Amino acid sequence: MAAQKQEKSVIWDWLTTVDHKKLGIMYLIAGTLFFVKAGVMALFMRIQLMYPEMNFLSGQTFNEFITMHGTIMLFLAATPLLFAFMNYVIPLQIGARDVAFPFVNALGFWIFFAGGLLLSLSWFFGGGPDAGWTAYVPLSSRDYAGVGLDFYVLGLQVSGIGTLISAINFLVTIINMRAPGMTMMRLPLFVWTSFISSTLILFAFTPLAAGLALLMLDRIFGAQFFIPSMGGNTVLWQHIFWIFGHPEVYILVLPAFGIISEVIPAFSRKRLFGYTAMVFATMIIAFLGFMVWAHHMFTVGMGPVANSIFAIATMTIAVPTGIKIFNWLFTMWGGKITFNTAMLFASSFVPTFVLGGVTGVMLAMAPVDYLYHDTYFVVAHFHYIIVGGIVLALFAGLFYWYPKMFGHMLNETLGKLFFWIFYIGFHLTFFVQHLLGLMGMPRRVYTYLGDQGLDTFNFISTIGTFFMSAGVILLVINVIYSAFKGERVTVADPWDARTLEWAVPTPVPEYNFAQTPQVRSLDPLFYEKIHGDGTMKPAEPIQPIHMPNGSILPLIISIGLFFAGLGFIMMNMDNPIINPWIVAIGGLVITFGSMFVRSVKEDHGYYVPVEQVKADLKKGGN
Amino acid sequence: MKLWKTAWRFLPLSLLLFLTGCMGETNLTALDPKGPQSQWLFDNMLLSLYIMALVTIVVFAIFFIILAKYRRTPGDDTIPKQVHGNTALEITWTVIPIILLTILAVPTITGQFMLADTEPDPEIGEDTVYIKVTGHQFWWQFDYEDEGFTAGQEVYIPVGEKVIFELHAQDVQHSFWVPALGGKLDTIPGITNHMWLEADEPGVFKGKCAELCGPAHALMDFKLVALERDDYDAWVAGMQEEVDVPTEGVLAEGRAVFEANGCIGCHAIGGMGTAAGPALSDYANREVVAGYLENTDENLEAWIRDPESLKQGNNMPAFPDMSDADMEALIAYLRSLDVQN
Per-residue pLDDT of B91-119, as tens digits, reads 999 999 999 999 999 999 999 999 999 99
Query: Which of chain B's residues have a Cβ under 8 Å away from the Cβ of A268?
Result: 70, 80
Structural domain boundaries, residue A522: 10-551+603-620
Question: Would the CB atoms of B109 and A334 count as touching at under 8 Å?
Answer: no
Output Rg (C-alpha) for chain B, integer angstroms: 27
Q: How far is B296 from chain A (nearest CA, A)?
A: 17
The rounded Cα A165 to chain-centroid distance in angstroms is: 15
| Under 8 Å between Cβ of B45 and A437 | no
Tens digits of residue pLDDT in A550-577: 999 999 999 999 999 999 999 998 888 8
Say yes or no for a CB contact (<8 Å) between A315 and B80: no
User: What is the rounded end-to-end Cα distance, in angstroms, of chain A?
Assistant: 28
Q: How confident is the model at residue A96 (pLDDT cuts 50, 70, 90)?
A: very high
Report the distance separating Cα A289 and Cα A297, nearest Å: 15
pLDDT bucket at A598, cuts 50 / 70 / 90: very high
Which residue of chain A is at minimal alpha-carbon distance from B81? A270
Contact A228 B190 (CB under 8 A): yes
Return the higher-pLDDT residue of B3 and A236: A236
Asked if A454's CB is within 8 angstroms of B186's CB, the reply is no
In this complex, do A136 and B212 lie within 8 Å of one another by their Cβ atoms? yes
b/e sequence B135-174, b meaning 16+ C-beta within 10 Å: bbbbbbbbbbeeeebbbbbbbbbbbbbbbbbbbbbebbbb
Mean of the pLDDT values across residues A82-96? 97
Rounded to whole angstroms, how far apart are CA atoms A153 and A135?
9
The per-residue pLDDT of chain A, averaged, comes to: 94
Rounded CA-CA distance A223/A328 in Å is 50
Domains parsed from chain B with CATH numbers = 26-240 (2.60.40.420), 249-335 (2.60.40.420)
Binned at pLDDT 50, 70 and 90, residue A1 comes out as very low
- Kindly give, in sequence order, each residue whose CB lies less than 8 Å from that of residue B15, ignoring residues fewer than 6 positions away: none
Number of structural domains, chain A? Answer: 1
Q: What is the mean pLDDT of residues B28-51?
A: 93
Share of chain A above pLDDT 90, in %: 91
| Whether residue B341 has pLDDT greater than 80 | no
Find which of A133, A299, A344 to mutate to test the B interface (most B CBs within 10 Å of its CB). A299
The phi, psi pair for B176, rounded to 5°, reads -90, 120
Q: Strand, coil or helix: what is B196?
A: strand
* Confidence check: pLDDT of B21 > 90: no
B302 pLDDT above the threshold of 80: yes
Per DSSP, A78 falls in state I
d(CA A348, CA A280): 24
In a domain, A578, yes or no: no
Rounded to whole angstroms, the Cα distance separating A184 from A522 reads: 10
Identify whether A82 is part of a domain.
yes
Q: For residue range A283-305, what is the model confidence (pLDDT) as tens digits?
A: 999 999 999 999 999 999 999 99
Question: Cα B251 vs. chain centroid, distance in angstroms?
Answer: 35
- pLDDT: is B232 or B287 the higher one? B232
Give the CA count within 13 Å in the CB-facing half-sphere of B17: 17
CA distances from B102 to A118, A313, B44 (A): 47, 12, 14
Contact A440 B114 (CB under 8 A): no
Q: State residue B19's pLDDT score.
A: 46
Beta bridge partners of B164: B130, B196
Residue A95 lies inside a defined structural domain of this protein? yes
- CATH for A346: 1.20.210.10
Query: Buried b vs exposed e over A512-533: b needs ≥16 C-beta within 10 Å?
Result: bbbbbbbbbebbbbbbbbeeee
Q: Which of A30, A21, A63, A27 is nearest to A45 (CA)?
A: A63
B194 to chain A: which residues are within 8 Å by CB?
A: 301
**Residue B150, min C-alpha distance to chain A (Å):** 24
Please name every residue paired with B204 in a beta bridge, in sequence order, or none if there are none. Answer: B225
Q: How confident is the model at residue A273 (pLDDT cuts 50, 70, 90)?
A: very high
How many residues are given for chain A? 622
pLDDT at residue A357 is higher than 90: yes
> How many H helices and E strands in chain B?
9, 12
Task: Answer yes or no: is A556 within a domain.
Answer: no
Contacts with B72 from chain A: Cβ below 8 Å:
269, 336-338
Tell me the CA end-to-end span of chain B in Å, nearest whole number: 71
Backbone φ and ψ of B140, nearest 5°: -120, 140
Nearest to A334 among B1, B83, B212 (CB): B83
pLDDT at position B8 is: 53
Q: Please write the tens of the pLDDT for every residue from A190-248.
A: 999 999 999 999 999 999 999 999 999 999 999 999 999 888 999 999 999 999 999 99
Q: How far is CA A355 from CA A386, B44, B217, in A?
A: 12, 18, 30
Q: Which residues of chain B are within 8 Å of residue A351 when distances are taken between CB atoms?
A: 56, 59-60, 63
Q: What is the pLDDT of residues A308-325, one digit of tens each?
A: 999 999 999 999 999 999
What 3-state DSSP class applies to B125?
A: helix
SS3 string, A425-487, reads HHHHHHHHHHHHHHCCCECCCCCCCCCCCCHHHHHHHHHHHHHHHHHHHHHHHHHHHHHHHCC
A622 pLDDT band, cuts 50/70/90, is very low
Chain A interface, mutation test: which of B18, B45, B108, most A Cβ atoms within 10 Å? B108
In a domain, A560, yes or no: no
Q: How many residues does chain B have?
A: 341
Give dist(CA A367, CA A349) in Å, integer: 30
Contact indicator for A445, B217 with CB cutoff of 8 Å: yes
User: Is residue A496 situated within a structural domain?
Assistant: yes
Q: Find residue B187's DSSP bridge partners.
A: B174
Looking at B168-228, list the stretches that DSSP marks H as alpha helix, in order from N- to C-terminal side: none
pLDDT of residue B5: 56
| SS3 of residue B50 by DSSP | helix
The answer to the question of residue A23 being in a domain is yes
Inter-chain contact B41–A316, Cβ cutoff 8 Å?
A: no
Asked if the model's pLDDT at residue A381 lies above 90, the reply is yes
pTM (2 d.p.): 0.94
Residue A161 domain-assigned? yes
B44 min Cα distance to partner chain A (Å): 7
For residue B133, what are the β-bridge partners?
Answer: B142, B167
Chain A residues close to B94, C-beta within 8 Å: 319, 322-323
Say if the Cβ atoms of B115 and A367 lie within 8 Å.
yes
